[in-house]
Every structure is written in structure tokens, then in C-alpha cells.
Structure 1
Amino acid sequence: MLVDVEKGVRLCLSETLLNLIWAPITDIKDIKMSGNWMWAAKCEGEGARLVSAVDSLCDALRDVGCAIDGGKDSLSMAVKVNEEVVKAPGTLVLSAYVTCPDITKKVTPNLKTSKNLSDADSVIILINFTDSKSINLGGTAFAQVYRQIGDEIDDVTDFQEFVNRFNKIQKLIENRKILAGHDISDGGMIVGLLEMAFAGNCGISANFEGQQVEELFSEAPAVLIEVEKSDEAEILSIFGKAAKTIGNTHKNFGPDGIIKIALNGELVLQEKLVELREIWEELGDQLGKYQTNELCLEQAKMVRETTKQIGYKCGFDFEYEVDFINDQTYFENAPRIAIIREEGSNGDREMASAFTLAGFQTFDVTMSDLSSGHTLSQYQGVAFVGGFSYADVLGSAKGWAAGIQFNEKIREQFQLFLARENTFSFGVCNGCQLMALLGWIGMESDEVDVFLEENKCERFESSFGPVKISENNKSIMLQNMEHSILGLWSSHGEGRFTYSSPNILRKLEENGQICVRFVDGDGKSAKDYGNNQKHLPYPMNPNGSESDVAAICSQNGRHLAMMPHSDRSFLSWQWPDYPFSNSNSSSNLSPWIKMFRNAYDWCKTH
């Protein structure tokens, strides 16, 4: 925008559209945008530049066929400091949205060479969205590295052809022909290519023929796609001169991965994947020092440098028909479960969805309902949901627990529910913290003996990683799922299991109450290595729980408290990189639905 506002807004629009391209949408003309202009409009010459920018954007939007339907402008972006006017560069921010009919067809940037159906390596294709022959590095990250702005920037001169190529990409996504995709923006083609390799944790080879080194850093609108070798010729023919193959993936991962880049046949870069990725991660690590325990940052670096692939394993059948979902008669006789929430809870919808798909009648029950006379006697199960009850200002779930323990009417409701032999409960995250404070898990003594403390990383942690379901665990919800290694979302700041005495953990293990553990890519917890290490490194163990504990149940197995979120992982598209095939089902269920179905089966027999 500092070089040329008319071209700048066209580039802004093109990147906005290419950021939406990786999920199937109804139509490019259905895209709506919020447009925010930030400009020192009252300064000399800036008003005229703003008019030129707006006119250019309107012309481009007209060619694309979509529109801006809102926004909030800031047109006084200037201030006087010691008689000198300091103004912000004129900026346009576009926020776009559109309907996505099928989220399961989304394309992510991480290379999928490990998922290929064929033995051949997949190929990477560059598709240009502008036909400019010149190489312009003005306004790019490359120029910024050299403390320059530049004189010329790229441009999109034909948005109708842009739309044509956009729609072709969409059709390939609809037909599941694209394994991975990434638009070219900050850093140019070479950075986009490396980011795909970093995310996929695999090696690549690329050869740029007939190009100059500057083209590797050009930020002209384009995309990189990974496709099966068998589809390469067809895709190249679809895009003609706009597309060319630039490289292929390797089936070597993590520390075995090698990045090879050649320019016109001459090798210009050959480095280990993990070494290049550490350069890319360096700024994030520096920022992390301000919010994360430094030992955990060192552990995360070690994990990045050594992990190859996650060895997910599912040793049970979890598919079943969910045609009962629209049968009202069915639900009239189905087991009833109360999805209990408090002020600040935010996990009730996903919890209700999981139990409904498992066959339960689900009911939204608030703590206010219980204080107003609603009883738990009509329910066979209760689920305590995740979130931040009372904003965690008293500590995680402590306000929620106090609302139960110090209200005689509500306390009696829960005591009666707990005493019934045909009831079960499940708590996730904030609900897990609550169950620990209530004494529903642990040794069932008069004193609470399991607590959830602050993560060892000293920050809120949100990540997806593998866990292993423990052998011989007592939980009724995890039966016949033992030894499986599955992925789960963790999302908490106080998730570290601690105990009133060192013997409690040993007794819980002996009793089969440790139900789930965090594991590494090889499916091992610290206990499996036998080297007196108390827990796996961060972020494999996101909170630092001793013995990598992720879930604990009661002595009778009917009450299960879990810190990571199976309620956010029970559908295949909720996983970042789903490893199992759902080819024979339209339900998109993941293996985690089994635990909810286990609860259903237990209720039907009790």
C-alpha cells in the first residue's frame, strides 16, 4: 500500500479470496466481506489516495461478483509528536465469510505424503493466479528483510480469469483431488513450500526451471497444491500454462527429512528439515519466553527435532448406524442424561451432541435449574461440561464446586444421584476439575485426594496430541478400548493431576483407576521407558501430570473425569489429521464415539 494503493487493494482482495479457497464453498459470488479502512485521510494527499484505493477495490469486486456488506473505518490515523506529524500507512483489512457445505472436504497445508494411496511420492504443483511476466519484490517480506520498500509491486489485472482458476481449484477440492494446499503470501513461494513441509514433517525436493532466484520470493498471487502422482497430468492440463510441477515429497519424516531446492538444475539448498524448521520457529520461541516456562520450551524443541510420525492405533469397531437420530419415538425410551453447566461453561453443545449420537436423550440442565427444584432423580447419567465456570477467578471449578457443597438442596441432589447403583457420570476439563473437588474420583475417602493444579508450562495450553487408553482400567465408558492410541484436544490452564499424598497415585494405578495417559508418537508414556522420568516432555504431556495421567475414574468405574476433550474429538473432521478410514460410513464418527456408546450400552443393562 506504501508503493501503489490501487494495486495494493487488488492484492488484498486476491489474498482474501485465496485464504477461503481451501474449503468447498457454495459459490464465489456468495462471499461477503467486512471492509475496514485505516487511513490518515485528513493529511495532505491522503484523501485522494483513499479515493483511488476505494475505486480500485469497487472495480475488482464487481469483476469477482462478491460484495462488502459492512465494516468500521478509522480515518484519523495520524498524530502530532513534537511538531512532527506521524501517520500510519494506509491500510485495508478485509474479513470474508461464506457458507461451506461439507467441512470434511477441507484442505490443510500440511503435506500428506504418508497418506498417499500409491507407493509413488506425491507431487507439488504451482498454480499462478496472475499472468504477469515481471518479477516485482516491492512491498514483500524479502524487501523488508533488506530494509527496503521497493518501487514496483505485483498486480492482478484480470479478476475474471482469477475467478475461473478459483473455481477450478474448488472443483478439485470437491472431487478430493488435492491432498494439501497453501496460498503464496508473506515470504513468497519458497516460504510457502517450506511451511507445507514443516507442517507435514516430511522431506521434499523442488527444482525451479527457467526461473531467477527472485521468483522464489515473489508474493504474486498463486497457490501450491500437493496431488497424487497419478493425477498430475490431468491437473496440469486443466490449468495449462498457469500451472507447473515444481517438486515432490519424500517418505522420510522428522529428523530423517531432507529439504532439497534446485534452481535450473543447480542445487542451491540441501538441509535437514528439522534444522530449517527451528529457524522458522525461532521468533515464536523468543516470544514464548514471555509466557511459557523455559524448560518446557526446550522440551518442545526436542520434541520437534525428534518426532517422526504419530502411531495412532484403534483396536475396536466403532462404526454404527445413526438413523435413529430423527426418530422421536426412539428417544422417548432412550436413557436420559443431564448435560450440566454453570455460568461460564462453554462445552455443553458438543457434549450433548456426542451423547445424542450415542443414543441418549440429552437435557440441558443449569445449576439454577437445580436450585429451583429440578431434580436429578429422572436421569441415569450426568455430564459436567468444559469451560471456565465463574471465569476461574476463584481457581478452576472452585466456584462451581462451592455452589454444590454449600447449597444443602443441591448437595443432597448430587449425593442421592451418587448413591444410586444405576447411575454414571462424566466430566471433561472444567467438569473434570469439578469432579476432583467433589471427591467423585480418587480413593473415595472422607477427604479429597485428587487435585488439578496449574500446568507446568505456566500457561493455558491448547493442543492436539496422542493418548493411550490404559490396560485393565475400570471405567465403564472405556471398556474394550484398551491399548488404543487416539488423538485428543487439550484445552486448559490447570490440568496437572496432583494428589494429597505420594501413595495415592500408586493406589489409583493398582486399582485400575488411571484410565488414559498422554503418550508420545511411539505410543509410550514415561512409565514405558522405565528411566525414572516422571512424565513425558512438553507438549506431549501438555500439563506435566506425573505418570502422564489424563483421566481417572472412581473405584466402581461409573464416574470418569478426563482433562482432554473426547467431546471435541468424536467426529473425524474434528481431528487435525484423521488417520482412520470412514469409507464405509457417512456418519463421520471417530473412535471416541465408542466411549459414549459404551455408556449407552451400560445404561440399557442397568
Structure 2
Amino acid sequence: SLIKAFVADKTFLITIGDRSVTGLIARDQMVGPWQVPVADVAVTLAGYQTYQGEAFAIGEKAPLALIDAPASGRMAIGESITNIVASLINDISDLKLSANWMAPAGHPGEDAALFDTVKAVGMELCPALGISIPVGKDSMSMKTVWEDAGDKKAVTSPISLVVTAFAATSDARKTLTPQLRTDLGDTKLILIDLGAGKNRMGGSALAQVYGAVGNQAPDVDDAARLKNFFGAIQSLNADGKLLAYHDRSDGGLFSTLVEMAFAGHCGLNINLDGLAGDVASTLYNEELGAVIQVRASEADAIAARLKQVLPNCIHMIGDVTTSEAIVIKQAGKAIFEASRVDLHRAWSETTYQMQKMRDNPACAQQEYDRILDKTDAGLHAKLTFDPSD
């Protein structure tokens, strides 16, 4: 699933644009010393003499509409929230959403599905969360028809809701990233499973690998749970308890974990004991959720704090290592083991192939081969002066 376009490295799309216009960009797509494009949220500063600014994040789950259109809308809202929560925001009610609706109006069943989805989002979920949608747009002609050698053909898009969340952030320096830290002593990884063990696989990347859609879509079953999650992450971030954060989305828990390892140039020791379901559904379901990195000395206290507001959602799943190995265990046995470099190369192969066709092939090859260099220190400061002077 790592090579699927919606999961894989998208550097080829990002590097064609300037990510530093205005000089007020506090958080762009590229994360950490090795500039891995895994950021959950964008953050800009309000001025040159302040740390206050604005946070932006996107959520979309169009494939789920093939199974359950209202669920796809709720999940788009949910994903925008699990992304933007990485920035420091006072309250969930400070969020404002832009809703971009797309549908094949007039296609059998789609008008009713659109109505049900708008109702689910605009009249049920968002009011329950205390969030407003003051702006948006629509494209109601998401169907094309043509003739080929006398045969009539058509392509029809499912209902698609793209949600953009906006909020003021009080301190851009407190924005969390997926970069795992190996310079702060022993740490632990905690999974926050907002699906509460349901592990619904419909519309997932794994389902698409097998040419399937599925029949049960992930959903936002409890608005209060999502609201509590937002508040808990904000509280822990404000207290300086979180070292890294990454939401669970396309590709499931497996993609979340390896992307964090890519950004941190580190290994993982993951234990699935205590998680419900079989290995495939545990690692590849795309229910809402997140993985956080915390100090080992504080892990139990943080887990207990989270369990108070998110019962049946908190799992200690492993730790970070300085090796290159990604190891996943269950019942004391290693069920998966691979090197970070090999997984990173697989994840970046799509962008490499695109860059090779579009840009200078030698440069594309050089950038792709950089992943092989385990001694690469990444971006770092090299002062040519004494800052104390």
C-alpha cells in the first residue's frame, strides 16, 4: 500500500512550488532534517514580530462514499480535525471549516446521497462538535460522457467532500510534527484509536491493493469522543508532554508508523498485543486516530490521563530505536521486519518515477539514492561565527 499514490511520497507535487513566499511560513510540508513530506498541518505567522499565526489542514475521504456517503462526509471532517490538532489551538470551537462539495447531480441515487451527507455534516456532526462551516463551494457536474467507436462511455465520480479547517494558533513554535525524536532518551509510542477497535476496512488502501472496495466504512461514531481527543491533545501539547504526533489516515497504522520513522531516520519496535482484530485489520484500517511519542518516564501517566477522556482507545504499542529496523511483533514473535531504508525507497518510488520523467533524470536519481545514505545528517546549522560575540 506504500506505493499507492494517495499514500506515497508526494515530493514531485510539492517541490514545483515555492514553500516560503512572504517569509511567514512556520510549517510547510517538509518535516525534519531530512525534509520528508509528512506534515499534518500548515502554519503561517501573523507577522514578523510574533509567534501567533494561522493553522490550516485538509480532510477528504471520497472513496468511502462508494460504501456510505454520510460516513465519507463525517470522516472528511474528522480527518481535518486530526490533522489540525497538531497545532496549538485554544478550543475546538475556534475552528472554521470550508466545505468543497462535488457530486454527479442527476445520476441515479446521487442526489439523495448528497442530501444525506450534507445533513449528516451540516446539521448533525458539526453542531455536535461546536464547529461552523461559514464558507464553501460546489461542483455538481462530476460526470463525463463520450462515445468511442460508437460505444457510449461514462465516468462518474462518487460524492466527494474536501474539508479545509482553519484556526488561529497562539504559538507556532508548539506545532507538533511526525518526526520521531531519538535525542531525548527513552520514549514510548501510544496509539489513540478513535475507532475503538472496530477496524472497519472499507475504502482502505489495503482493500484497493486487492481490487476491492469493502462493505463497511470507517465512521465518526461519537462526536464527543472526537471532541475529547482534540482537547486532550491540546492539553498535552500545551504542557510540553508530546514529542511527536501523526494522525492515522490513508494506509492505516502501518503508514503512520513508518512515515514517522522516515522523518526521524530511526527504527521501531512495535508490539500489537492488546489491539483487537487480526494483523491486517489492525495495521491497515483507516479509522480516525493518531500515534504520539512521549517520554518513557511519563508514558504511564499520559496514558492514564488519556484513558480518562478516551476509554477503550488508548494502547501502548512500542518504542523508538536508533537502529534501521522496523519490527512488528505479536504474541512474542516478529511478524514483520524490514529496514527503514527499504520501506522509504518503496514509499518514494512513485515520486522518483514522476520526477525522472519531468525533471533532469540524473538529479532525480541522485535525490532517490540519497535515501540509501544512512550517515546523512540532514539539514543542520554550521555557524561561521561565534554567536556570543
The alignment's TM-score, normalised by the length of structure 1, stands at 0.50
Where do 1:205-604 residues align within 5 Å?
205-210=269-274, 211=276, 212-213=278-279, 214-240=281-307, 241-252=312-323, 257-308=324-375, 310=377, 465-466=379-380, 468=382, 480-481=385-386
2:44 aligned partner:
none
Structure 1 residue 45: Cα displacement: 1.6
Q: After superposition, give the CA deviation of every residue in 1:540-592 in whole Å (9 maximum; x if it has no partner).
A: xxxxxxxxxxxxxxxxxxxxxxxxxxxxxxxxxxxxxxxxxxxxxxxxxxx6x
Please tell me whether residue 86 in structure 1 is matched to residue 155 in structure 2: yes
Looking at structure 1, the residues matched to 331 and 132 of structure 2 have their Cα atoms a distance apart, in angstroms, of 42
Could you list the structure 1 runs, at least 4 aligned residues long, displaced by more than 6 angstroms after superposition. Answer: none
Q: After superposition, give the CA deviation of every residue in 1:222-267 in whole Å (9 maximum; x if it has no partner).
A: 1000010011011110122321110100123xxxx11111123221
Structure 1 residue 138: Cα displacement: 0.8
Looking at structure 1, the residues matched to 271 and 164 of structure 2 have their Cα atoms a distance apart, in angstroms, of 35
2:21 aligned partner:
none
2:352 touches 2:365 (CA, 8 Å); kept in 1?
no
1:41 touches 1:75 (CA, 8 Å); kept in 2?
yes
1:447 aligned partner:
none
- Residues 161 and 268 of structure 1, relative CA distance in 2, 3 Å threshold: same
Q: After superposition, give the CA deviation of every residue in 1:47-102 in whole Å (9 maximum; x if it has no partner).
A: 11100011111200011000111111001112222234432111001111000000
Tell which structure's C-alpha radius of gyration is larger: 1
Of the three residues 104, 109, 134, the one matched with 2:178 is 109
1:124 touches 1:227 (CA, 8 Å); kept in 2?
yes
Amino acid at match of 2:292: I
Please tell me whether residue 100 in structure 1 is matched to residue 169 in structure 2: yes
Amino acid at match of 1:250: T
Please tell me whether residue 65 in structure 1 is matched to residue 65 in structure 2: no
Q: After superposition, give the CA deviation of every residue in 1:423-465 in whole Å (9 maximum; x if it has no partner).
A: xxxxxxxxxxxxxxxxxxxxxxxxxxxxxxxxxxxxxxxxx83
C-alpha RMSD over aligned residues: 1.8
Q: After superposition, give the CA deviation of every residue in 1:347-386 in whole Å (9 maximum; x if it has no partner).
A: xxxxxxxxxxxxxxxxxxxxxxxxxxxxxxxxxxxxxxxx
1:31 touches 1:96 (CA, 8 Å); kept in 2?
yes
Looking at structure 1, the residues matched to 264 and 168 of structure 2 have their Cα atoms a distance apart, in angstroms, of 28
Amino acid at match of 2:189: I
Where do 1:89-168 residues align within 5 Å?
89-114=158-183, 116=184, 118=185, 121-131=186-196, 133-168=197-232
**Which consecutive unaligned segments of at least 5 residues does structure 1 have?**
311-463, 471-479, 482-590, 599-606
Looking at structure 1, the residues matched to 333 and 119 of structure 2 have their Cα atoms a distance apart, in angstroms, of 45
2:356 touches 2:365 (CA, 8 Å); kept in 1?
no
- Residues 243 and 308 of structure 1, relative CA distance in 2, 3 Å threshold: farther
1:38 aligned partner:
102
Looking at structure 2, the residues matched to 31 and 304 of structure 1 have their Cα atoms a distance apart, in angstroms, of 37
Structure 1 residue 469: Cα displacement: 5.4
Structure 1 residue 300: Cα displacement: 2.2
Amino acid at match of 2:162: V
- Residues 466 and 164 of structure 1, relative CA distance in 2, 3 Å threshold: closer
Amino acid at match of 1:105: K
Looking at structure 2, the residues matched to 302 and 163 of structure 1 have their Cα atoms a distance apart, in angstroms, of 43
- Residues 291 and 155 of structure 1, relative CA distance in 2, 3 Å threshold: same
Looking at structure 2, the residues matched to 85 and 307 of structure 1 have their Cα atoms a distance apart, in angstroms, of 49
Looking at structure 2, the residues matched to 194 and 185 of structure 1 have their Cα atoms a distance apart, in angstroms, of 13
Question: SS at the partner of 1:465?
Answer: coil
Amino acid at match of 2:121: L
Looking at structure 2, the residues matched to 236 and 467 of structure 1 have their Cα atoms a distance apart, in angstroms, of 36
Looking at structure 1, the residues matched to 272 and 381 of structure 2 have their Cα atoms a distance apart, in angstroms, of 41
Q: Relative contact order: is structure 1 or structure 2 higher (C-alpha 8 Å, sep ≥ 6)? A: 2
Amino acid at match of 1:465: L
2:112 aligned partner:
48
Amino acid at match of 1:227: V
- Residues 293 and 188 of structure 1, relative CA distance in 2, 3 Å threshold: same
1:261 touches 1:268 (CA, 8 Å); kept in 2?
yes
Q: After superposition, give the CA deviation of every residue in 1:179-201 in whole Å (9 maximum; x if it has no partner).
A: 00100000000110011001100
1:24 touches 1:174 (CA, 8 Å); kept in 2?
yes
1:204 aligned partner:
268
1:25 aligned partner:
89
Amino acid at match of 2:140: L
Question: SS at the partner of 2:316?
Answer: strand
- Residues 84 and 295 of structure 1, relative CA distance in 2, 3 Å threshold: closer
Structure 1 residue 466: Cα displacement: 4.0
1:25 touches 1:98 (CA, 8 Å); kept in 2?
yes
Query: How many residue pairs align between the two structures?
Result: 313
Please tell me whether residue 195 in structure 1 is matched to residue 259 in structure 2: yes
- Residues 299 and 78 of structure 1, relative CA distance in 2, 3 Å threshold: closer
Amino acid at match of 1:219: E
- Residues 35 and 266 of structure 1, relative CA distance in 2, 3 Å threshold: same
1:185 touches 1:221 (CA, 8 Å); kept in 2?
yes
Looking at structure 2, the residues matched to 173 and 144 of structure 1 have their Cα atoms a distance apart, in angstroms, of 35
Q: Percent identity?
A: 33
Question: SS at the partner of 1:289?
Answer: helix
Q: After superposition, give the CA deviation of every residue in 1:119-156 in whole Å (9 maximum; x if it has no partner).
A: xx21100012233x433211011111111111111111
Question: SS at the partner of 1:152?
Answer: coil
